[in-house]
A and B are shown apart, each in its own frame.
Chain A
Amino acid sequence: MTNPPAVGDRLLRALLPPASAETMTGDLLEEYRDTRVPAVGRRRADFWYARQVAGVFLRTYGWFVVPVILVLVIHDLFNTFRDPSGASYLDAAPVLVRLPLGTPGIGVGALLAAALYGTWRTQRWAGGVVATAGIFLVTWLFMALWWPATFYPFAQVQQHNPYWIQAWQWSTNRSHTNEPFLRWIFWDNVGGMIFFGMAMAVVSSACGIVGSTMYWAYRLLRRQDAA
């Protein structure tokens, strides 16, 4: 009998509470083999299965993805639109606004909360790690669309700001290149995306491992107290 991708089945088990993991993976397997593969073929049935897994992830962890994406978008806006002196407009904001938006606190907090929730929900260490890995993937995909979509309008504003012009001149002088502004800022964005992807992969893995381990340590302590 045809099987859906093994990784999809494993991910689904790491996303569902123990009470539904067996029954829901069984329901999807039955639908996959009995209806989808005969009707649309294996490749499209695999795609359907992957969509079901993604749907379960977004339904469960969508609210953890939102603050991470919001922080990154706000960060990008304040990084692009600056005072001509180079100072961030965020510097003038009250400390209660500046601190959460200017530091990665909200993003890291959301990742840790997702790891704790994922481990509690699935009662599996892998549940928390899969939660943060998924948040990383969704966020990175969003930013990989956000940056190209905003590149041109943002660059139009940036090339009229003395701060960005100075940064471009400094960079091109240092590398002895004669790059035009738009080309320089494009590669600056590409570099930023690669760096952001690597940094977020590390942070989300660390948050997943720390959050899941914290939950298991808490359970162990409670069990010892009860004994």
Chain B
Amino acid sequence: MADILGSFEQAVLLAIVRLDEDAYGRAILNEVARRLERDVAAGAVQATLDRLERKGLVRSRLGSGTPIRDGRARRFYAVQAEGLRALNDAKAAHASIWRGFSRSLKART
């Protein structure tokens, strides 16, 4: 089993999987923010994408810009086979941690 992904890395990778062909910076930022139900810093998402690309879990390509972004290029991301493996490992680790735990969690007063 490879290194287990952090929860933010999982959120970013899953956002790319969900967005499929439309996975570029701003769309990923909004998808992660929506799933985590909080405001997310663009710098945090960008740093995570760079790290995932260095690890070989995602690959990026440049796409065309649009008038609303003054023609500035968009960088599209795609999850690689290694990235899908890492996501599956993370899911399995998560399930393993919680397996057989049925008690309700209550703080002691």
Q: Min CB distance, A8 to chain B, in Å?
A: 12
B41 lies within 8 A of A23 (CB): no
A-B contact pairs, 16 of them (CB 8 A): A22-B72, A23-B25, A23-B72, A23-B75, A24-B46, A26-B73, A27-B42, A27-B69, A30-B69, A35-B30, A51-B41, A52-B42, A56-B46, A59-B41, A59-B44, A59-B47
- The residue that B68 contacts in the complex, of A24, A25, A33, with Cβ under 8 A, is A33
What separation, in Å, do the CA atoms of A28 and B25 have in the docked complex? Answer: 9
- The residue that B41 contacts in the complex, of A25, A26, A33, A52, with Cβ under 8 A, is A52
Q: Which residue of chain B is the closest to A24 with respect to CB atoms? A: B46
Q: Could you say which of A1, A22, A30, A33 has the most chain B C-beta atoms within 10 Å of its C-beta?
A: A30
A24 lies within 8 A of B69 (CB): no
- The A-contacting residues of B in range 30-71, CB under 8 angstroms, are 30, 41-44, 46-47, 50, 62, 65-66, 68-70
- The residue that B69 contacts in the complex, of A20, A26, A55, with Cβ under 8 A, is A26
B26 lies within 8 A of A27 (CB): yes
What separation, in Å, do the CA atoms of A56 and B43 have in the docked complex? Answer: 5
- Verify if B79 is at the interface (C-beta below 8 Å from A): no
Footprint of B on A, CB under 8 Å?
Answer: 1, 20, 22-31, 33-35, 51-52, 55-56, 59-60
Q: Which residue of chain B is the closest to A51 with respect to CB atoms? A: B41
Contact string against A for B residues 16-28, beta-carbon threshold 8 Å, 1 for contact and 0 otherwise: 0000000011100
Instruction: Given contact pairs A23-B25, A24-B42, enumerate 19 new A-B contacts (beta carbons under 8 Å).
Output: A1-B68, A20-B46, A20-B50, A23-B24, A23-B73, A26-B25, A26-B74, A27-B74, A31-B30, A33-B68, A33-B69, A34-B68, A35-B30, A52-B41, A56-B42, A56-B46, A59-B44, A59-B47, A60-B43
Dominant secondary structure at the B interface: helix
Q: Min CB distance, A215 to chain B, in Å?
A: 21
Q: Min CB distance, B8 to chain A, in Å?
A: 13
- Verify if B15 is at the interface (C-beta below 8 Å from A): no
- Verify if B87 is at the interface (C-beta below 8 Å from A): no
> Which chain A positions have C-beta within 8 A of B66?
30
